[in-house]
Amino acid sequence: MKKILSVILAIALFSFAFATPALAAGAPDGAKLFKKNCAVCHAGGGNTLNPNKTLSQADLTANGKDTLEAVVKQVTYGKKQMPRFKGRLKDNEIEAVATYVLGQAEAGW
């Protein structure tokens, strides 16, 4: 749990430190990207294909997907039934989706 909180705190601090330039540059909106690309299977943090692997904090932790790096890797390369988004989304868009997922999980998705 401490690791998760540390990662989220680091993400938040990093985001705030560069918020103005990122917004000016048109940083991707993780929520919008998630809705467009992921919600068909993961609406509300669920998982229509594998109900045991939701995006809840407990399931992310149990499946070793509770870090930004792990979620980015999962979204980028996919695995089994989950398609890869490499080539469909830019790296910064994938990171925005991953950040959104972790934030929603922490908030009790």
Cα dihedral value 5, 98, 13, 16, nearest 10: -150
**pTM for the whole thing?**
0.75
Asked if residues 94 and 76 have their Cβ atoms less than 8 Å apart, the reply is yes
Q: What is the CA radius of gyration of the chain?
A: 13
Task: Calculate what percentage of the chain has a pLDDT beyond 90.
Answer: 73
Mean pLDDT score of the chain: 87
Which domains are delineated in the chain?
2-106 (1.10.760.10)
H/E run at residue 82: none
Q: What is the pLDDT of residue 51?
A: 93
Mean pLDDT of 80-105: 97
